[in-house]
Chains A and B, each alone.
Chain A
Amino acid sequence: MESSIYKKKRNLLVFLVPAFLFMAVFLYYPFLKNIWNSFQNISSLGAAGKGWNEPWYSNYVKMAGDKNLRTALFNTLIMMAVTIVGQVGIAVVLALMVDNIKRGGKFFRTVYFFPIVISATALGLMFNLIFLYDKGMVNQFLEMLGKTGLTDWKDSAHALIIMMIPVMWQYVGFYFVILITGLNNIPEDLYEVAAIDGATRWQRVRYITLPLLRNVICTCVVLAVTGALKVFDLPWVMFPKGMPLGKTWLTGTYMYYQAFNTKNVDYSSAIAVLIVVLGIVTSKIVNKVFKEAEY
Chain B
Amino acid sequence: MKNKKPVSIWNGLIYVVLSFWALTTIYPIFWIVMNSFKAKNEILANSFSLPLGDQFTLSNYKTAFERLNIFSAYRNSLIISCTVALVVVLLAGLASFALVRYRFRLKKFIYSLVIAGMMFPVFSTIIPVFRMLNVMHIANTSNLWMSLLSVALPQIAGNMSFAIVVLTGYIKSLPIELEEAAYLEGCSAYQIFFKVVVPLTKPSFATVAIFSFLWSYNDLFTQMFLLRLPEQRAITRLLNELTAMEGTNYGLMAAAVALVVIPVIIVYIILQKYIIKGMTAGAVKG
Contacts and interface: CB of A to CB of B under 8 A. Distances in A.
Nearest to B269: A110
A117 B260 contact: no
A15 B221 contact: no
Q: Identify the interface centre among A45, A113, A122, A125: most chain B CB within 10 Å of its CB.
A: A122
A199 interface: no
B265 A118 contact: yes
A126 interface: yes
Contact of B26 (A111, A268, A272): A111
Interface in B14-38: 14-15, 17-18, 21-22, 24-26, 28-29, 31-32, 35
B217 interface: yes
A140 B48 contact: yes
A157 interface: no
A112 B127 contact: no
A13 B261 CA distance: 41
Size category, A interface: 35 or more
Size category, B interface: 35 or more
Contacts of A47: 131
Given A19-B95, A45-B127, A119-B236, A112 B25 contact: yes
Contact of A191 (B2, B254, B265): B2
B220 A19 contact: no
A125 B256 contact: yes
A16 B110 contact: yes
Closest 3 CB pairs of A and B: A26-B157, A15-B98, A19-B95
Interface of A: 1-6, 8-9, 11-12, 14-16, 18-20, 22-23, 25-31, 33-34, 37, 45-48, 90, 93-94, 97-102, 104, 107-122, 125-130, 132, 134-137, 140-141, 144, 169, 172-174, 177-178, 181, 188, 191-192, 195, 201, 216, 219, 223, 226, 229-230, 232-233, 236-237, 240, 251-252, 255-256, 259-260, 265, 268-269, 271-273, 275-276, 279-280
Given A23-B161, A28-B117, A188-B2, 4 more contacts: A5-B189, A9-B102, A233-B236, A275-B121
Interface of B: 1-4, 7, 10-11, 14-15, 17-18, 21-22, 24-26, 28-29, 31-32, 35, 43-44, 46-48, 91-92, 94-95, 97-104, 110, 113-114, 117, 119-132, 134, 139-140, 153-154, 156-158, 160-161, 164, 176, 179-180, 183, 188-190, 192-193, 214, 217-221, 224-225, 235-236, 239-240, 242-243, 250, 253-254, 256-257, 260-261, 264-265, 267-269, 272, 275-276, 279-280, 283-284
